[in-house]
Amino acid sequence: MIKINELNKKYKGAEHYSVAGLTLRIEEQEIFGLLGPNGAGKTTLISMLSSLIKPTSGSFSIDGLNYQEHSNDLKKIIGIVPQEYALYPSLTAFENLSYFGSTYGIRGNHLKEKINQHLETLGLLNFAHKKISTFSGGMKRRINLIASILHEPKVLFLDEPTVGVDVQSKNVIIDHLKKLNATGTTMIYTSHHLNEAEDFCTRVAIIDDGKIITKGKPKALVASHNNARNLEDVFLAITGKALRDYA
Amino acid sequence: MHKLFASTYKEFLLLTRDIGGLAILFLMPILLVITITTIQDGTFKIVKETKIPVLWVDEDQGEISKSIFEGLSNSKTLELITASSEDEAKSSVFKGDYQLAIVIPKNLSTDLAAKVDENVSGIMAKFGLEEDTATVVDKTPIAQKEIRLYFDPATQYAFKSSIKNGINQMIAQVETQSIYKAFQEQLEEDPSKDFFETESFISFKEIVPNGMQDDAIPNATQHNIPAWSLFAIFFIILPLSINMVKEKNQGTFVRLRTNPISYATVLGGKTLVFLAVALLQFGIMLLIGVYLFPNIGLPKLEISGNVGILFVVAFFAGLAAIGLGLLLGTIAKSQEQSAPFGATFVVILAALGGVWVPVFAMPSFMQSISRLSPMNWGLNAFYHVFLRNVDFPELIPELSLLFLFFIATTLIAILYNKRQNSV
């Protein structure tokens, strides 16, 4: 589904590559976790795959579509759940979703039905006509997710989809994502919640300094490291305990 | 097309939910046009109807000072208050108690009479009519006289200038009458008979070639409504650029960049909504000029030209303003950048465009710069219709410039956005 070949990214004026010679293949219907400390290159990689920034060199394709030749077609088959609440606070949940849905060419009753269906599943149907500015963090996260999946993307990029939400909202979001995955959606997920990643992902890669250090199924990674009880132990063993502060 | 419609509807919702933005767009221009027109009309009325107190120091005490005093007293603009001395008058003016003091010098009447006599006798002698030419030759030179005007330093240049012109005109009249009188005394033995007709032979009439049959003179409203409507239309730059910066900060712009919708379509939605706002603003301004102004004691807006053409001008002026707003909103990274820059830039464009000072009154260097201001093109087009009553074809140069400005600024915005996102 996703083929990444020797992908590099170096920002203007930067001394080091944010993503350095990264090669990776993600299969259809996988939930692939990209784990790494701050500044490891996770967001840069997702930004390149979602057409937000251009690679310095290398190539990738999603569902056979090369980003250089099919940029617009790529946008139709991917969905991005950004870390920020990318919503209009003065519009209602329904108005936000109607607009973002229509940018994918969905319209009329079909769009309305889809919005209501997702709102109901994520427990927000009663708040459909309330302004986003009145929503709690957990509610905004759920709307943020719906805005990215209305067009039923083949590949969904999830950048910290559960950050800052309560346990209830987190469970609802993860359950919904699992259902989507069951229908065939491939997911690339980044998070600092390693326990969540261990349960949620079918495969993970730990990246640091723009390179993949290790990858595999979570349980297999834990088993392959002596004294590791969980993915967090593996993560610390690989990336170390030093703070990663950047300014 | 569906995406453009969706973007337009979204912009409409965003705008109507932003009460502060709506207030800036509609109430501020209305307040502005009412305030400016009231001040300008009030100033005009003050000059026209209210007498301004002026200190009068008469060191001459002769016929000339009496004539000037009567002339000024009879004028509708000045009220003369006699001061005891020049020093007192000077001090009162410098303290700001009075805006003006007029000091008539000693012996003005006798010296003017002597000077006129001298000149008239000289002329009569040339024609061989003077009885005793020896007296003319023997006269000692008469020094020039000076009427001193003390102005408060805070007095506006325009007021100063109009007062000086008025007094100058009155003195010229008194001098002329003295000359006539001297001639009459030389030629006619009975001074009670009117030998010369001393009334002004030449007068002037103000005619505005507006293409209409009537001789209507444009009032303050005729100038203010188009000028401030244009200012309001260009003020769109501010809420439009803020709207775009907000979208960047909210992350919605990033989401849109990952969606299959072009930046041009997103900008298209904004253009349509803000264009409707510009036309609505203009319509409201016209209604205010026609219906509200007469009810609050301001001159009524007389629309002599075609109203449809007026809206065409507003349409193109709106496009130019929107293009600039889109460019500013694309380049600015924060509201702290876009808001002060937008507001200041509109004021600069208005000044360059001739909203406050007519372009012809600017230095030639500034006149050249003014021709590059889209507000100047818009204002010219509005004046063509409002005051000169021209037909559509004559507006094509200005409308073309406004449209090209919109295309250029929007294209730059799109290219800049593309370049910025190619990191």
Instruction: Point out the residue among B3, B13, B251 whose CB comes nearest to the CB of A103.
Output: B3
Strand partners for A190: A34, A159
Listed residue (A181, A170, A11) closest to A79, CA to CA? A181
Of B10, B14, B258, which is closest to A50 when you measure between CB atoms? Answer: B258
- Which of A50, A102, A130 best probes binding to B when mutated, by most B CB atoms within 10 angstroms? A102
B27: which DSSP letter? I
- Paired residues of B161 in beta bridges: none
Q: Which residues contact A215 (CB under 8 A, 6 or more apart)?
A: A24, A203, A204, A205, A206
Residue A150: band (very low, low, confident or very high) from pLDDT cuts 50, 70, 90: very high
Interval A118-138: pLDDT, tens? 999 988 999 999 999 999 888
pLDDT of residue B196: 64
Is the separation of the CB atoms in B4 and B12 below 8 Å?
A: no
B272 pLDDT above the threshold of 80: yes
* pLDDT above 90 as % of chain B: 20
> If pLDDT is split at 50, 70 and 90, which confidence band does B175 have?
confident
Which residues fall within 8 angstroms of residue B408, CB to CB, at 6 or more apart?
Answer: B323
Better-scored residue on pLDDT, B25 or B49: B25
DSSP letters along B277-302, please?
HHHHHHHHHHHIIIIIGGGGTSPPPP
pLDDT 10s digits, A104-113? 999 899 999 9
The pLDDT value recorded for residue B400 is: 95
Longest Cα–Cα distance of chain B, Å, equals: 107
Please give the mean pLDDT across all residues of chain A: 88
| Residue B416 scores a pLDDT above 70 | yes
Give CA angle at A72 (A68, A75), nearest 5°: 105
B323 confidence band (pLDDT: 50, 70, 90):
very high
Q: Residue B342 CB: number of other CB atoms within 10 A?
A: 25
B18 contacts A82? CB cut-off 8 A: no
Confidence at residue A127, expressed as pLDDT on a 0 to 100 scale:
94
What confidence tens digit (pLDDT) does each residue in A59-104 have?
Answer: 898 988 887 788 788 889 999 998 888 999 999 999 999 999 999 9
Task: Measure the CA–CA gap between A206 and B56, rounded to whole angstroms.
Answer: 95
Please answer yes or no on whether B422 and A54 come within 8 Å at the CB atom: yes
How does residue B211 score in pLDDT terms, banded at 50, 70 and 90? low
Local confidence band at B194 (pLDDT 50, 70, 90 cut-offs) = low
Closest by alpha carbon to B226, among B307, B148, B291? Answer: B307
Helix locations, B292-395, DSSP H? 307-331, 335-353, 364-370, 374-386
Q: Which residue of B18, B251, B260 is in closest CB contact with A90?
A: B18
Per-residue confidence at A232, pLDDT binned at 50, 70, 90? confident
pLDDT band at B206 (very low <50, low <70, confident <90, very high): low
Q: Is A90 on the interface with B (CB under 8 A)?
A: yes
Mean pLDDT of the region B107-133: 77
More confident residue, B183 or B195: B183
Higher pLDDT, B375 or B76: B375
Domain boundaries, chain B: 2-42+215-420, 52-187
Give me the pLDDT at residue B193, please.
66
Task: Out of A66-70, A238-242, B326-330, pick the least confident.
Answer: A238-242
Give pLDDT, residue B401: 95
CA of A82: which chain B residue's CA is closest? Answer: B255
> Which range has the worst mean pLDDT, A77-81, A91-95, A228-232, B310-314?
A228-232
Is the predicted pLDDT of residue B130 greater than 60, yes or no? Answer: no
**Beta carbons of B254 and A84 less than 8 Å apart:** yes
pLDDT of B336 reads 85
CB contact A12 to B (< 8 Å): yes
Chain B residues touching residue A87 (CB < 8 angstroms): 250-252
Instruction: Give residue B266's pLDDT band: very low, low, confident or very high (50, 70, 90).
Output: very high
Q: All domains of chain A, ordered by start, with CATH? A: 2-83+155-239 (3.40.50.300)
Say yes or no to pLDDT of B245 above 80.
yes
Distances in whole angstroms, Cα of residue A63 to Cα of each of A24, A34, A123: 14, 19, 32
Which of A26-40, B66-80, B229-243, B272-286 has the least mean pLDDT?
B66-80
Nearest-angstrom CA–CA distance, A50 and A62:
10
User: If you measure CA to CA, which chain B residue comes closest to A99?
Assistant: B6
Partnered with residue A65 across adjacent β-strands are A62
Name the region of B77 (left: φ>0; alpha: ψ -120 to 50; beta: rest).
alpha
Contact B423 A54 (CB under 8 A): yes
Pairing of strands A65-66, A78-81: unpaired
pLDDT band at B49 (very low <50, low <70, confident <90, very high): low
- Edge to edge, the sheet with strand A57-62 lists A19-26, A2-9, A57-62, A65-66
Domain B52-187 in CATH 2.40.50 = no
Is residue B210 very low, low, confident or very high in pLDDT (cuts 50, 70, 90)? Answer: low
Write the CA distances from A20 to A7, A148, A214, integer angstroms.
7, 28, 15
The confidence band for B48, taking pLDDT boundaries of 50, 70 and 90, is: low
Each residue of B343-353: pLDDT tens digit?
898 889 888 88
B7 interaction partners in chain A (CB closer than 8 Å): 99
pTM: 0.76
- A213 closest CA partner among A205, A221, A203: A205
Residue B129's pLDDT band, with cuts at 50, 70 and 90, is: low
Q: What are B158's two structure tokens?
A: 């325009």
pLDDT at residue B204 above 80?
A: no
Could you say which of A75, A91, A95 has the minimum Cβ distance to residue B259?
Answer: A75
Tell me how far apart the alpha carbons of residues A212 and A198 are, in angstroms, rounded to a whole number.
Answer: 17
Decide if A86 touches B, using CB distance below 8 A. yes
Give the mean pLDDT of B44-53. 64
CB-based contact A87 B250, cutoff 8 Å: yes
Q: What are phi and psi of A105, to 5 degrees?
A: 85, 5
**In this complex, which of B13, B252, B254 lies closest to A52 when CB atoms are compared?**
B254
By C-alpha distance, the chain B residue nearest A10 is B423
pLDDT at B153: 76
Is-contact A18 A220, C-beta < 8 A?
no
Q: What is the SS3 assignment for A23? A: strand
Q: Quick check: A187 pLDDT over 70?
A: yes
Asked if residue B134 has pLDDT above 60, the reply is no
What mean pLDDT comes out for the span B327-337? 89
CB pairs under 8 A between A and B: 78
Per-residue pLDDT tens over the stretch B358-380 = 777 778 888 888 888 899 999 88
> CA of B411 to nearest chain A CA: how many angstroms apart?
20
Burial class (CB in 10 A: 0-12, 13-18, 19+), A13: exposed
Query: Does the distance separating the beta carbons of A12 and B10 come in below 8 Å?
Result: no
